[in-house]
Structure 1
Amino acid sequence: MAVNLLSHEVSDLCIGKPALRVLPISATIHEAILVLKQCGDTYISVWTSEAFAGKFCMVDILCYLCAEENISSPEAALKNSVSVLLSNETAALMGHVESHSRVIDALNLLLEGPRILWAPIQSTASHPKNPGSITGHSTMFCWLTQEDFARFFFNSIATFSPVADLSVSHLGLVRSTDVFTVHRHDPDLSFLPLISRALHEQTSVAVITHDRKLIGEISPSPLASCDESAAAALAALSAGDLMTYIDWRGSPPEAISEEDC
């Protein structure tokens, strides 16, 4: 039965997935911010003349605006192309799979290095208002992540018995190493590289006290829902205050109080 499950087509994983919101690589950072605000999507994909070049979210923009070379001249930074948000590392995290490919083949591709696969979901007549269509193409695409594969397998968890009876620690799902941590009083931009790494690793940055007690986390996910004004908070607040700022979605209390560690 497990063999039959792995023989399903990738199109089964694409059911219900939203079409990608796409921008050309020539679009500016300012244009990207406007699209993020208007469409409500978390991520925007970038397309070249041949293929996807990568994707980015508001977290990438905030980290870019807070970079040393941009923080003193944000207006100039906003005029740059979205290509500055992409890197060779970003491209290496993506892979392409056809909708008729087998699930096992797509899974093997993920194990080779890519974190995200892009796959066609349907063909329609090209339309300029279609958020998933690409100029000159009639095919719409979606992203497939590790979570999509996990969800697909969990829906048939009985097939993999006795997995359902094993503990989380026995399955090795909890890692005790490579945990990103910052002290609650660490200043502003010192933890910026960790936020960027957490975004790529699809994890969070733990906020701890001086005696290493966990008090919260800085997650790129809610940070991606903020607008560009969060760059000022990212540049000025300590790790603990930034955590509070994110929890309040950019509208924290008038005074952010801190307890002594």
Structure 2
Amino acid sequence: MAVGFLANEVSELCLGKPALRCLSAAAATVGDALSALRRSGDAAVGLWSCCDDDADGAPSGEAGRCVCVGKVCTVDIVCFLCREENLADPAAALRSKVAAVVPKGGGLVRHLEPHASLLDAIELILEGAQNLVVPMRSRKGTAPRKNILHNHREYCWLTLEDIVRYLLNFINLFAPTPALPINSLGIIDTDSILAVHYYDPAASALQLIPESNLKQTAVAIVDDDGGQLIGEISPLTLSACDLTVAAAVLTLSAGDLMAYIDCGGPPDDLVRLVKERLEEKNLVTFLESLDEELAFSLPSASSSSDEEFGCGKSGRIGGYSARMVRRSEAIMCYPSSSLVAVMIQALAHRVSYVWVVEEDRSLAGIVTFRSMLRVFHERLKSVS
């Protein structure tokens, strides 16, 4: 393996990356986070904690220092609104401090200097980090915007996808490992699969969706008989919907929710079914309140089209944001699939996992970017 590859710095992965937009972890509300996500079209927004220059008790030498302490995505907000205590007044819930929706689990966001090695980045990922915050090299002739400037520097963040995509460019250096079947590499997870049955209430997945978001996977939907994989409830797809998808989660079956969040837009009959069941549960005001909040918090029609910000073919309910969305069809491979084939498959579909199924489509496990990185980490450590 080329020695030079081990010396590659993470700054190489930052080329062309946009500057990270951020919110104050102390001052921002859940509604602020929602507005920031909708304006930017980003999958997540970073939360920053700063030691104020004038703050009493700021640690010595820490005054003015800012640290990214977490991130929030739309699915965090959707699950928050589905909590029992927030059903009566979702507008009030959106006025809560953003800390209420921050995923529980330390170390999801870690800082890394641009001169750090690729191996350093992989090790932080294997320790549990989802995003690596890296200072960007200054660009001549450009003035950074205030809302993306911390410690007088601009930052970007790197994801598992960025690192796996970068490794794919040098895949020949790891031969013959990439050509080996995944069942020979010990990377198929068979123990911690998150799944619900097709006819289960979608609300039964409310505990699993945040967990799948932390694991950067999804909740599998399987049939009641043979455990065959039918589809999935993906945090990524849920994050592409507007907040009214919370009403669908509360009222539909898992199978119907899968159809509802499909990128083609929810069928009219499911939209009607959601409204009928909200009436049965005395939750009509829940949807009305979300509609009002969306109309208030999202950018005006003069700056974006209705389709971009939440008005699907059936009106406000069931809309999608402007960023890329994908279908709720599960991405699958077989135990005999090669590592490189599964890498390419995941990257092509912009997911960080691939379901593993047997020939009859029965669910056998899941392979994640993190488990793939363990394989490459072992190879890199062996020659470092």
- TM-score norm. by structure 2 comes to 0.61
SS at match of 1:244: helix
Unaligned runs of 5+ in 2: 51-65, 274-384
Residue 122 (structure 1) aligned with residue 137 (structure 2): yes
Match of 1:20 in 2: 20
Look up the match of 1:140.
154
Aligned residue for 2:256, secondary structure, equals helix
d(CA) in 2 for partners of 1:72 and 1:195? 22
Residue 126 (structure 2) pairs with residue 108 (structure 1):
no
Secondary structure of the residue aligned to 2:71 is strand
1:36 equivalenced with 2:54 (yes/no): no
- Partner residue of 2:223 out of 201, 209, 219: 209
Secondary structure of the structure 2 residue equivalent to 1:48: strand
Instruction: Sort the Cα spacing of 1:253 and 1:3 in 2 relative to 1 into closer, same or farther, 3 A.
Output: farther
Aligned counterparts of 2:137 and 2:98: Cα–Cα separation in 1: 27
Which secondary structure state, in structure 1, belongs to the residue aligned with residue 85 of structure 2? coil
Displacement of 1:86 after TM fit? Answer: 1.6
Hey, what does 1:182 align to over in structure 2? 196
Query: What is the identity, as a one-letter code, of the residue corresponding to 2:137?
Result: Q
How far apart are residue 36 of structure 1 and its match?
A: 1.8
Change in CA separation of 1:78 and 1:37 when aligned onto 2, cut-off 3 Å: same
Alpha-carbon separation, structure 1, partners of 2:246 and 2:270? 19
Aligned residue identity for 2:176? P
Q: Secondary structure at the match of 1:172?
A: coil
Aligned residue pairs, count:
252
**Cα offset, 1:116, TM superposition:** 2.5
CA-atom RMSD in angstroms: 2.1
Structure 1 residue 180 displacement after superposition: 0.8
- CA distance, structure 1, for counterparts of residue 217 and residue 40 of structure 2: 25
The answer for the alignment partner of 2:169 in structure 1 is: 155
Deviation at 1:61, TM superposition (A): 0.4
The answer to which of 56-65 and 67-76 deviates more is 67-76
After TM superposition, give the deviation of residue 11 of structure 1 in Å.
0.2
Q: How does 1:166-181 map to 2 (within 5 A)?
A: 166-181=180-195
| Deviation of the 1:250 alpha carbon | 4.7
Q: Determine if contact 1:33/1:228 at 8 Å carries over to the other structure.
A: no
Q: 2:212 aligns with which of 187, 198, 204?
A: 198
Unpaired runs of 5+ residues, structure 1, are none
In 1: Cα distance, 2:179 partner to 2:204 partner: 43
State the partner residue of 2:239: 224
Runs of 4+ aligned residues of structure 1 deviating over 6 Å after TM superposition are none
Q: Is the 8 A contact 1:126 1:138 kept in 2?
A: no
- Residues 230 and 250, structure 1, Cα contact 8 Å, conserved in 2: no
Q: CA–CA distance in 1 between the matches of 2:31 and 2:128?
A: 32
Letter matched to residue 23 of structure 2: L
Contact kept? 1:21, 1:41, Cα under 8 Å: no
Aligned to 2:179: 165
Alpha-carbon distance change, 253 to 213 in structure 1, aligned in 2, over 3 angstroms: farther
Letter in 1 for 2:21: R
C-alpha deviation, 1:87, in angstroms: 4.7
Match of 1:7 in 2: 7
The answer on whether the counterparts of 1:233 and 1:242 sit within 8 Å (CA) in structure 2 is yes
Answer whether contact 1:65 1:77 (CA < 8 A) is retained: yes
What percentage of residue pairs aligned between the two structures are identical?
A: 43
Q: Sort the Cα spacing of 1:20 and 1:249 in 2 relative to 1 into closer, same or farther, 3 A.
A: farther
Q: Distance in 1 between matches of 2:73 and 2:103?
A: 14
CA distance in 2, matches of 1:93, 1:42: 15
* Further displaced range: 239-248 or 101-110: 101-110
CA distance in 1, matches of 2:191, 2:167: 26
The within-5 A match list for 1:53-132 is 53-89=69-105, 91-123=106-138, 125-128=143-146, 132=148
Q: CA deviation at 1:177?
A: 2.4
Render the CA deviation track for 1:100-123: whole Å, top value 9, x for unaligned: 111122222333332322111233
Distance in 2 (alpha carbons) for counterparts of 1:87 and 1:147: 20
Once residues 36 and 85 of structure 1 are traced to their aligned partners in structure 2, the CA distance between those partners, rounded to angstroms, is: 14
Contact 2:9 2:117 in 1 (8 A): yes
Matched residue, 2:48 = 47
C-alpha deviation, 1:157, in angstroms: 0.8
Provide the rounded CA distance (Å) in 2 between the counterparts of 1:178 and 1:73.
35
Contact 1:2 1:160 in 2 (8 A): no
Q: Distance in 2 between matches of 1:255 and 1:227?
A: 16
